[in-house]
Amino acid sequence: MALRTLSSLGSLAGKRVLVRCDLNVPLKDGVITDDGRIRASLPTLNALLDQGARVVVMSHLGRPDGAPEAKYSLEPAAIRLGELLGKPVAFATDTVGESATATVSTLADGQIAVLENLRFNPGETSKDEAERGAFAAQLAELGDVLVSDGFGVVHRKQASVYDLAKLVPSAAGLLIETELDVLDRLTENPERPYTVVLGGSKVSDKLGVISHLLPRVDTILVGGGMVFTFLAAQGYKVGASLLEVDQLDTVRGYISDAEARGVKIILPTDIVMASKFGADAEHVVAPADALEDTAFGATGMGLDIGPETGKAFAEQIKASKTVFWNGPAGVFEIPAFAEGTRAIAQALTEVDGLSVVGGGDSAAAVRILGFADDQFGHISTGGGASLEFLEGKRLPGLEVLGW
């Protein structure tokens, strides 16, 4: 079966269209610090509004424990959505209660509303199928069809993502189509040379991706906290840096497998070592094979790749035709430890081919560091979903749409 897309739903003029978006944006003191996910939802929402649909947007935000919490309200996202659409967006103060029912009933053709955070209802994320199904049935009362467009949640079997799609006619939105097209290009006959850049804190988060991509790529560049498990696997001392001792043998296996396949795994040759974790930490650049030979000794911790490594990684990236990047190279939120991530991001903007930023912290990093979305081939909205796709896993939120 093929993924059902918007065209499969026919004319949506006058219909109540439930749209599962991913408006899970970061907030600080009630202010949105990165509206990338809201902007990513605009093509689908505009396409539906232009048809004269009555659009009802559903999303989650954060991890509330199945009950309302003011700090997780979707109202700031609804306000920002209205600014980006250039039209009023009604806001329901509940998910399936009186406010939602009243708000949806007053929509005219070409108008839009946002429901409050889905995760304020325990049925959204429940492991109990009956509880999830009951919540999905209540959501189904509010719409005639479902357009699933929250790529960041398609790896979750949740009420609005999975169960609802079985109760009403359903199809994927334009964002999910785009994400799948890009991910398909990363896994099926990618243009070569093909380089994958992996960072972030833990090797264990990336095991499936490394295993699935090893037969498909030419080069893997390793940075971030996960690099210290790679360095330790080769016998280097890493001080107080993040280290997953239980993954050392697994990493040695990957290094051996890569060598047998002719895949290059490139590790940093220098690391920014710090006296502690913090913006006020003293720091020096140390060779990767002498990380404890600094003034900090065995108590020093690596918080970024070094400048020599940043240049080498950038050269490898720019020489590639396909690049996928997931995970920052260091603690990019602190300026002193952001240069490695900046070097990778800058190099991705200069790729003569497909450059993909794999969502999550990587997407946040490029925006915080001042890069524009259109400088990259694609910025994914789904960190976890992208990784699970690249691990070769089936995603329930896509399977229910015929994928």
* Residues taking part in catalysis: 37, 202, 360, 384
Amino acid making up residue 335 = P
Q: Alpha-carbon distance 58 to 50, whole Å?
A: 19
Binding site for ATP, by residue number, is: 206, 302, 333, 359-362
Phi, psi (deg, nearest 5) at residue 240: -95, 15
Q: Write the DSSP assignment of 294-343 as a string of letters.
A: STTGGG-EEEEE-HHHHHHHHHHHHT-SEEEEES-SS-TTSGGG-HHHHH
Q: Alpha-carbon distance 45 to 100, whole Å?
A: 19
Report DSSP state, residue 163: I
Distance of CA 356 to the CA centre of its chain: 11
Contacts of 68 (CB under 8 A, 6+ apart): 116, 117, 120
Binding site for (2R)-3-phosphoglycerate, by residue number, is: 37, 119, 156
Q: Alpha-carbon distance 109 to 54, whole Å?
A: 5
Asked if 341 contacts 369 with a C-beta cutoff of 8 angstroms, the reply is yes
Please calculate the CA angle 291-329-351 and round it to the nearest 5 degrees: 130
Q: Alpha-carbon distance 128 to 150, whole Å?
A: 22
Amino acid making up residue 57 = V
CA dihedral 302→263→215→373, nearest 10 degrees, is 50
Nearest alpha carbon to residue 77 among 120, 116, 51, 134:
116
Q: Alpha-carbon distance 173 to 151, whole Å?
A: 9
Binding site, by residue number, is: 22-24, 37, 60-63, 119, 156, 206, 302, 333, 359-362
Tokens representing residue 232 in the block:
């330790």
Nearest alpha carbon to residue 118 among 86, 87, 144, 156:
156
